[in-house]
A = this chain, B = another copy of it.
Amino acid sequence: MKKLINSSGQIRQQLLAGLTYTYDDTLTWHTKTGIVTKKMISKNKVVLISGGGCGHEPAHVGYIGENMLDCAVMGAIFEPPASSEILQAIEETYNGQGTLLIIKNFEKDLASFLEAERLAKAKGLAVSHVIVDDDCSIESGSFKKRRRGVAGTVFVHKILGAAASQGKSLDELQALGEQLIPLIKTLGVAFSPASPIGIIPQQYELAEDEMYFGIGIHGEPGYRIETMQSSERIAIELVNKLKQQYSKKDLIQAAVLVNGLGNIPLLELGVFMNDVQQLMDIEDIQVVYKRMGNFLTAYNTNGLSLTLLAIKDDKWLDYLRVPTDAFAWR
């Protein structure tokens, strides 16, 4: 796969320059770092910070805005930012109301973000975190759940972001996150593997007519390779597997996210969404909120993921529906 870049070592710098130039009405970039913040951070609410490696655009910079994140800290491609940069972000955005870190469940991400939290707490700052682990793929050949943090993270950004704006405390936001996250489930499928410019070796190959269920967002292998199928058949696999993660009584109302992994045409996401709609009708699951687009991508991957969120509290739906000016969720 060809890459439109300059040099791989300059990607983070040049990407953040390009993004914050384009959205200079709402975003401020702390030049030469991976720190991007909202232009004006409110003094009257808990600060929300997320982040991770580059290569998942528009995540997470695209979710900075009213009723979403205050700050995103981005590392090199598929590498989390250093704890020192996360600490810097916590300190620079600190407003006395406390700071919540929203972390995707990957070993390296946890190490960086939790170390930054520890250092900030040692300085007397009120910092807490939630860990998003929505991926319900299983290891191929085992029953080990992956529980990586993937596209469902964007629902967490929005719901906690809106709740923070409405005055929830740091403890309340953490509790809300812990109530919400187990009800978010995601499963992905790739039609071509991620190929991140020699930073991480390509982890699997697919033949011209093959696809891979259960892949991760950094090119991690999935649980089953199959011959390429129709959109409808793929939707059946994903909806069935996701549905099994819930008790029947939990999955009455759902929010649905059809997420492109970046190198997939919107035409195909549209066709797939139509298949998902029909399956949700058959399953008698009421879709009360839906989104379709490239929201949390995997650099140079042709594929998609489907996320369900079981809406257990109407307030969550209100939080989802409150408008935002975050560029990727307007």
List chain A positions with a Cβ less than 8 A from chain B.
1-7, 11, 14-19, 21-22, 54-55, 57-58, 77, 191-192, 208-209, 211, 228, 230-232, 234, 258, 262-275, 277, 290-292, 294, 297, 299-300, 302, 304, 330
Contact = CB atoms under 8 A, between A and B. Distances in A.
A292 B18 contact: yes
B267 A191 contact: no
Task: Give the one of A57, A271, A272 with max B CB within 10 A.
Answer: A271
Task: Give the one of A21, A55, A272, A297 with max B CB within 10 A.
Answer: A21
A322 to B, nearest CB: 14
A263 B266 contact: no
B231 A5 contact: yes
A2 B267 contact: no
A257 to B, nearest CB: 11
30 contacts: A2-B191, A2-B192, A2-B302, A4-B191, A4-B231, A4-B304, A5-B230, A5-B268, A6-B232, A7-B230, A15-B270, A15-B271, A15-B274, A16-B270, A17-B274, A18-B270, A18-B271, A18-B274, A18-B275, A19-B273, A21-B274, A21-B290, A22-B291, A55-B267, A57-B267, A262-B265, A262-B267, A263-B264, A267-B299, A294-B294
B211 A277 contact: no
Task: Give the one of A2, A17, A232 with max B CB within 10 A.
Answer: A2
A161 B191 CA distance: 38
In the A-B complex, list the 6 residue pairs whose CB atoms are closest, starting with the nearest.
A18-B274, A18-B270, A18-B273, A57-B266, A330-B330, A4-B268
Contacts of A17: 274, 277
A209 B4 CA distance: 12
Contacts of A277: 17-18, 21
Contacts of A300: 265
A159 to B, nearest CB: 19
A277 B211 CA distance: 38
A306 B270 CA distance: 25
Contacts of A228: 2
B4 A271 contact: yes
Given A2-B302, A230-B6, A22 B264 contact: no
A279 B148 CA distance: 40
Given A11-B271, A57-B270, A271-B11, A264 B18 contact: no
A11 B7 CA distance: 39
B4 A272 contact: yes
A213 to B, nearest CB: 13
A296 to B, nearest CB: 11
Contacts of A297: 265-266
Contact of A290 (B1, B22, B234, B273): B22
Contacts of A266: 57-58, 262, 294, 297
Contacts of A2: 191-192, 208-209, 211, 228, 302
Nearest to A267: B57
